[in-house]
């Protein structure tokens, strides 16, 4: 008998080979994409060796070899972490570097495979004038991490530090840093002939 939640949606818990077979087949395909020369016996052995189960436990009738792990299988095969990573490059700060001016710091944001970061990450930035944080607005779009901020009045000659960074679950954060000095305002124009 199916169960229903408060909204009338039906659900049930089930287990068995009909659920496990597609997962194992998908992970086997992933393993073969990494190393196509493996035999089916080698792939099966890799999947059983990297399945998670209690230490010292082998096969048992209710859990088989344990819970298959795509990450563990690929990492064992390649000898490298399969965790994704960010790559930030080409930091630029646009705008006049004078008190009261609005500036924008931008940096290209890519995943480790070269694809632009569009979703799946949180954009962050922190701008400080003479060591004190000022208001900044981070955004992420089309593979560009942006941070908008306005230089405070009276900040001529001050040192500005900036940090733009991305975070995402299971991914090490990546940061781009910059430093600049606010220039004095331009001198007023003098009238000719005086």
35: closest CA among 76, 83, 87?
Answer: 76
**Contact yes or no for 178/93 (Cβ under 8 A):** yes
Write down the pLDDT at residue 191. Answer: 66
Q: What is the pLDDT of residues 59-70, one digit of tens each?
A: 777 677 778 889
pLDDT band (50, 70, 90) for residue 180:
very high
Delimit the CATH 2.60.40.10 region(s) of the chain.
Answer: 86-181
Task: Check if the beta carbon of residue 50 is closer than 8 Å to that of residue 69.
Answer: yes
As a residue count, the chain comes to 194
Tokens of 18: 């009909």
Q: What is the mean pLDDT of residues 40-69?
A: 82
Give me the numbers of helices (H) and strands (E) for the chain, helices first please.
3, 10
Per-residue DSSP letter, 157: T
Report the range out of 21-30, 60-69, 101-110 with the highest average pLDDT. 101-110
Describe the chain by its helix, strand, coil percentages, rounded to 5: 20, 40, 40
For the chain, the first-to-last Cα distance in angstroms comes to 97
DSSP code at position 151: P
DSSP state of 187: P
Query: What's the DSSP call for residue 119?
Result: S
> Does residue 182 contact residue 157 with C-beta atoms inside 8 Å?
yes
Considering only residues 3 and 85, tell me which one the structure prediction assigns the higher pLDDT.
Answer: 85
So what's the architecture of 86-181 in CATH?
A: Sandwich (2.60)
Residues in Cβ contact with 90 at an 8 Å cutoff, skipping those fewer than 6 apart: 106, 107, 108
CA 73, CA 64: separation in Å to the nearest integer?
A: 17
Threshold 0.85, pTM exceeds: no
Q: What is the pLDDT of residues 126-174, one digit of tens each?
A: 999 999 999 999 999 999 999 999 999 999 999 999 999 999 988 899 9
pLDDT value of position 192: 64
pLDDT band at 84 (very low <50, low <70, confident <90, very high): confident
């Amino acid at each position: 008998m199916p169960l229903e939640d408060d909204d009338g949606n039906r659900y049930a818990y089930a287990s068995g080979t009909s659920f496990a077979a597609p997962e194992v087949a998908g992970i086997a395909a992933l393993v073969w994409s990494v190393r196509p020369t493996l035999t089916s016996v080698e792939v099966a052995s890799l999947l059983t060796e990297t399945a998670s189960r209690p230490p010292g436990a082998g096969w048992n009738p209710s859990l088989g070899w344990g819970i298959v792990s795509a990450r563990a299988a690929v990492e064992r095969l390649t000898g490298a972490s399969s965790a994704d990573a960010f790559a930030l490059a080409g930091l630029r700060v646009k705008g006049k570097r004078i008190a009261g001016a609005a500036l924008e710091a931008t940096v290209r944001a890519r995943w480790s495979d070269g694809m632009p970061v569009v979703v799946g990450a949180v954009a962050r930035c922190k701008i400080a004038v003479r060591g004190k944080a000022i208001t900044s607005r981070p955004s992420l779009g089309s593979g560009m991490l942006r941070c908008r901020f306005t230089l405070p009045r009276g900040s001529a000659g001050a040192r500005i530090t900036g940090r733009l960074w991305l975070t995402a679950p299971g991914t090490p954060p990546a940061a781009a840093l910059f430093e600049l000095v606010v220039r004095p305002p331009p001198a007023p124009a003098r009238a000719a002939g005086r």
